[in-house]
Amino acid sequence: MNGWGYVVAAYVGSALLYGTYLTWLLRKERRLERSTGDLQPR
């Protein structure tokens, strides 16, 4: 692995990490919006 290999690994790896987390979070939000959408405050 020359210099660029490590750079690519770091950038792509970070992107995957943040991207996966963000995707998971937004999906969770959508699911929760659906589940709590029909709830009314007491």
**d(C-alpha 39, C-alpha 2), whole Å:** 56
Evaluated on CA atoms 10, 11, 12, 16, the torsion sign reads positive
- x/- contact string, 2-41, with other proteins (CB under 8 A)? -xx-xx-xxx-xx--xx--xx--xx-xx--xx-xxx-xxx
**d(C-alpha 8, C-alpha 14), whole Å:** 10
Residue 22 CB, shortest distance to other proteins, in Å, is: 7
Chain positions contacting other proteins, by CB under 8 A: 1, 3-4, 6-7, 9-11, 13-14, 17-18, 21-22, 25-26, 28-29, 32-33, 35-37, 39-42
